[in-house]
């Protein structure tokens, strides 16, 4: 018989970014979630958000989620749908699913520790390592700094990179992408990310001008919740003979929304963020849905979790390695990291559960 959830505690911390992601993104907020079951076993998970919303996430965990979870089976897959149904009046995604992820991850961590297994082997290992690509939040970098970053990625052995676009002047984007492509050469892949900055007309024009740089994908060309806009963009690109894969998903929060984009045939690479979608339980469902549609999965951020999940998927999966933003780089780990990146490949280290132990006294929130 599955033990019950007997305790749920949270702790907030902020992790300053060594290099801000923008003028209003100076740090990351993490909510550590500790779960203890009725047998005394403990698991630790986390919720995560860049700068905004951390206190709301913690409040939801400390009240509605705790009240609902106590006394229920300490099993992530059993609890998740019932908890989501309970919280749905507060919103189907966003703060709701971000908060749910903290508990879901803690329960998977608990299960792994009980079994004496790391997450990859608990879920079912498909491979020992996978491709990592260099990534940076770099639209605000001067051109020389962007080029230097691309050179660091090449020196580190990455076979692909992703950079930001969406400058006020499209000519600046063209110059920047041309410079990065020159550093990379013809054999490394180059993806670009507009972070929802473009209108439909601007996206059509920009993708047309940037397509000659042999793009692996264009990420979030439009607002993430604008399905009709993505349908129109696909139609316009096809009519213009422009063939650049579209990636999205970091700001899509439920499998229902992923299904809508997949069914519409407007996405070539889905990028679920394991925290924003609500944890490992829904992430696995979204990945399976993408696989049924024959669409590539490339998890968004959170290398320590995304890489482990990638090693369980049926097809080799690209994993994002953001410069200076791993948990180890942020200085918030108390032990060794659960994954290691070497020469453009990432592997797990086999630590039990999630393998993530946050420092006892990190930077306070």
> Catalytic residue among 162, 230, 253, 300, which?
300
- The domain in which residue 196 lies consists of 121-348
DSSP result, 41-83: -EEEEEEEESSSSHHHHHHHIIIIIHHHHTTSBS-HHHHHHHH
Mark whether 319 and 265 lie in a shared domain.
yes
**pTM, to two decimals:** 0.95
Number of independent structural domains in the chain: 2
In a domain, 192, yes or no: yes
Q: Domain for residue 325, yes or no?
A: yes
What's residue 361's pLDDT?
Answer: 62
Rounded to whole angstroms, how far apart are CA atoms 339 and 346? 7
CATH of the domain at 313: 3.20.20.120
Domain membership of residue 361 (yes or no) is no
Please tell me whether residues 111 and 128 are part of one structural domain: no
Q: What is the DSSP letter of 3?
A: P
- Shared domain for 42 and 138, answered yes or no, is no
Residues 98 and 186 in one domain: no
* CATH code of the domain containing 92: 3.30.390.10
Does residue 13 lie within any of the structural domains? yes
63 tagged catalytic: no
Q: How confident is the model at residue 167, as a pLDDT?
A: 97
CA distance 106 to 315: 26
89 and 231 assigned to the same domain = no
Domain assignment present for residue 357? The answer is no
Are 76 and 170 found together in one domain? no
Residues 147 and 35 in one domain: no
Question: In terms of domains, do 32 and 140 share one?
Answer: no
**Closest of 288, 231, 250, 295 to residue 269, by C-alpha:** 295
* Domain assignment present for 109: yes
Q: How many CB atoms lie within 10 A of CB 364?
A: 8
Q: pLDDT value at position 23?
A: 79
257 and 137 inside one domain: yes
CA-closest candidate to residue 75, choices 40, 27, 112: 112
Of 162, 164, 230, 253, the active-site residue reads 164
Encode the chain (365 residues) as per-residue pLDDT tens digits.
789 999 999 999 988 888 888 878 888 999 999 999 999 999 999 999 997 899 999 999 999 999 999 999 999 999 999 999 999 999 999 999 999 999 999 999 999 999 999 999 999 999 999 999 999 999 999 999 999 999 999 999 999 999 999 999 999 999 999 999 999 999 999 999 999 999 999 999 999 999 999 999 999 999 999 999 999 999 999 999 999 999 999 999 999 999 999 999 999 999 999 999 999 999 999 999 999 999 999 999 999 999 999 999 999 999 999 999 999 999 899 989 999 999 999 999 999 999 999 987 655 55
Nearest to 246 by CA among 237, 255, 256, 259: 237
Cβ proximity of 319 and 342 under 8 Å: no
Is position 310 within any domain?
yes
169 within a domain of the structure (yes/no): yes
Ramachandran assignment for 109, one of left (phi > 0), alpha (psi -120 to 50 degrees), beta (any other):
alpha
Tell me what pLDDT residue 18 has: 85
Position 362 scores a pLDDT of 54
Cβ(355)–Cβ(340) under 8 Å? Answer: no
The tokens 């659960």 sit on which residue? 338
140 catalytic? Reply is no
Q: Give yes or no: residues 106 and 126 share one domain.
A: no
């Amino acid at each position: 018989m599955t033990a019950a959830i007997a305790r749920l505690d949270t702790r907030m911390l902020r992790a300053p970014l060594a290099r801000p992601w923008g003028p209003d993104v100076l740090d990351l907020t993490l909510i550590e979630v500790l779960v203890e079951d009725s047998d005394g076993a403990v698991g630790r998970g986390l919720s995560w958000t860049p700068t905004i919303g951390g206190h709301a996430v913690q409040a939801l965990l400390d009240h509605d989620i705790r009240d609902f979870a106590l006394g229920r089976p300490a099993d992530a897959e059993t609890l998740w749908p019932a908890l989501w149904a309970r919280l749905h009046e507060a919103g189907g995604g966003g703060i709701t699913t971000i908060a749910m992820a903290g508990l879901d991850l803690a329960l998977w961590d608990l299960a792994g520790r009980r079994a004496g297994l790391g997450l990859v082997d608990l879920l079912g290992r498909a491979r020992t390592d996978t491709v990592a690509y260099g990534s940076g939040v770099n639209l605000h970098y001067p051109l020389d700094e962007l080029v230097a970053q691309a050179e660091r990625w090449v020196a580190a052995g990455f076979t692909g990179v992703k950079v930001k676009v969406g400058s006020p002047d499209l000519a600046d984007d063209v110059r920047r992408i041309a410079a990065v492509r020159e550093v990379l050469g013809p054999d490394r892949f180059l993806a670009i990310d507009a972070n929802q900055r473009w209108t439909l007309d601007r996206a059509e024009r920009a993708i047309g001008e940037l397509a000659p740089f042999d793009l692996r994908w264009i990420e979030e060309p439009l607002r993430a919740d604008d399905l009709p806009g993505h349908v129109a963009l696909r139609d316009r690109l096809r009519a213009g003979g422009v063939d650049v894969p579209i990636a999205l998903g970091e700001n899509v929060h439920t499998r229902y929304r992923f299904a809508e984009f997949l069914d519409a045939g407007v996405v070539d690479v889905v990028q679920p963020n394991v925290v924003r979608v609500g944890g490992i339980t829904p992430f696995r469902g979204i990945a399976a849905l993408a696989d049924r549609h024959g669409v590539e999965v490339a998890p968004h951020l959170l290398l320590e979790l995304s890489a482990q999940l990638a090693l369980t998927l049926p097809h080799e999966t690209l994993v994002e390695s953001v410069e200076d933003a791993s948990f180890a780089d942020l200085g918030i780990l108390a032990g060794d990291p659960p994954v290691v990146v070497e020469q453009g490949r990432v592997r797990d280290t086999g630590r039990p559960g999630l393998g993530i132990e946050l420092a006892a006294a990190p930077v306070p929130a």
